[in-house]
Structure 1
Amino acid sequence: MKKQLILASTSKYRQELLHRLALPFEALAPLIDEDKEKDPSLAPRALAEKLALLKAQSLKGEGKVVIGGDQLVSFEGRIIGKAHTTERAVEQLLSMQGKVHELVTAICVFDGEKIIPYTDITRMHMKSLSKAQIEHYVSLDNPIDCAGSYKIEKHGIKLFDKIESEDFTAIQGLPLIALSKILENCDLL
């Protein structure tokens, strides 16, 4: 019997990325209350890993391979979440301009009861930018639904001097290089 692949996410970004592996999958909302699970005492990496695990675990089952993922921005020891408003997006980008932050992308795959975690840490070197440049960028991409207030796959690339990453797709929300290796080991690729 062929295993059913499930993406425990309603993120259109993660779904678009997973389509690149040319595998049939179903995208389902994880059965957790993410806000209740966000523990402010956890370090950014630990929190992303916990949320990825809980999302995947919530949909696991016999004959299923479930992918859970979480991504957050770690800046100066604190987590920078989604802005939700244009004004907040500008504030977030102003605070990070000219500095380095980390993009933490955690995935957890359940193959039946077997757990396979993976975390990618990408160092993002943001240019020194004026408020006018940032406001112009925010008007282009409206990145209010993205952690850190930028869309790297669109115009957000122009905000950076340098990106240190092992897998560019991790920046967009799903590290496909690592995930493809994991899915091979699950006999799906």
Structure 2
Amino acid sequence: MIPKIILASKSPRRQDLLRLMDMDFEVVLKEVDESYPAGLTPREVAVYIARKKAEAFDESITDEVVLTADTIVCIDGQILGKPETADHAVEMLQTLSGKVHQVITGVCLLYKHRYNSFFDVSEVFFRKLSDQEIRSYVAEYNPLDKAGSYGIQERIGLIGIERIDGSYTNVVGLPTEKLYAQLVNLNN
């Protein structure tokens, strides 16, 4: 049996995914500095930040599982975080347009003072987007809370993504397939 989950994320997409998995969870948030040391690979960055988020709960958790995650978008080795302005979001989407990029989600499970960290990578193939499509999306959806400036489940994802190699839910923000496998094996 999977213990109750403390989801340390305000992401409505992660919450929706856990609901779809029929998981018993509660959202608890703590402020965490998401900076990371220079020299880490994008995969290491995602896992490092996810673990850092989990460490904030180490002293306060009893029998629950703390679930933390960090999703990053990476193109040509460059990490695209969350945009700071609408213009920055447009710039990011122009960078992704017509190219392949990686979405990497680092996940950390804290259970009984043990950390279990893992990651998933999905390759996303964007078709060439027009400036009008990009600007209209940014104006309507205001994607300042999304790594890489887009949500796969929103209009730009529906019209712009030609294909994905890897997990769809990873691109949404939580690799549910890998997560479930880790959760059922917590006590092993």
Give TM-score, length-normalised by structure 2. 0.88
Other-structure match for 1:38: 36
Structure 2: runs of 5+ lacking an equivalent: none
* Alpha-carbon distance between aligned partners in 1 of 2:32 and 2:131, rounded to the nearest angstrom: 38
* Alpha-carbon distance between aligned partners in 1 of 2:4 and 2:165, rounded to the nearest angstrom: 34
Aligned-partner SS, 2:83: coil
Q: Residue type matched to 2:48 in 1? A: K
Other-structure match for 1:164: 165
Identity %: 34
Are 1:68 and 2:68 matched, yes or no? Answer: yes
Please show how residues 110-149 of structure 1 align to structure 2 within 5 Å. Answer: 110-149=110-149
Please show how residues 5-20 of structure 1 align to structure 2 within 5 Å. Answer: 5-20=5-20
For the 8 Å contact 1:81–1:147, the answer to whether it is kept is yes
Q: Residue type matched to 2:74 in 1? A: S
* Deviation of the 1:130 alpha carbon: 2.0
* Deviation of the 1:68 alpha carbon: 1.0
Other-structure match for 1:28: 28
Deviates more, 1:129-138 or 1:148-157: 129-138
Other-structure match for 1:56: 54
* Deviation of the 1:137 alpha carbon: 2.5
For the 8 Å contact 1:151–1:157, the answer to whether it is kept is no
For the 8 Å contact 1:170–1:176, the answer to whether it is kept is yes
Deviates more, 1:2-11 or 1:104-113: 2-11
Q: Residue type matched to 1:62 in 2? A: T
* Alpha-carbon distance between aligned partners in 2 of 1:41 and 1:30, rounded to the nearest angstrom: 26
Cα displacement string for residues 155-189 of structure 1 (whole angstroms, at most 9, x for unaligned residues): 12211222111x211111111111112222237xx
Other-structure match for 1:85: 85
Structure 1: runs of 5+ lacking an equivalent: none
Aligned-partner SS, 1:56: helix
* Alpha-carbon distance between aligned partners in 2 of 1:31 and 1:144, rounded to the nearest angstrom: 18
Give TM-score, length-normalised by structure 1. 0.88
Other-structure match for 1:150: 150
RMSD: 1.8
* Alpha-carbon distance between aligned partners in 2 of 1:16 and 1:97, rounded to the nearest angstrom: 28
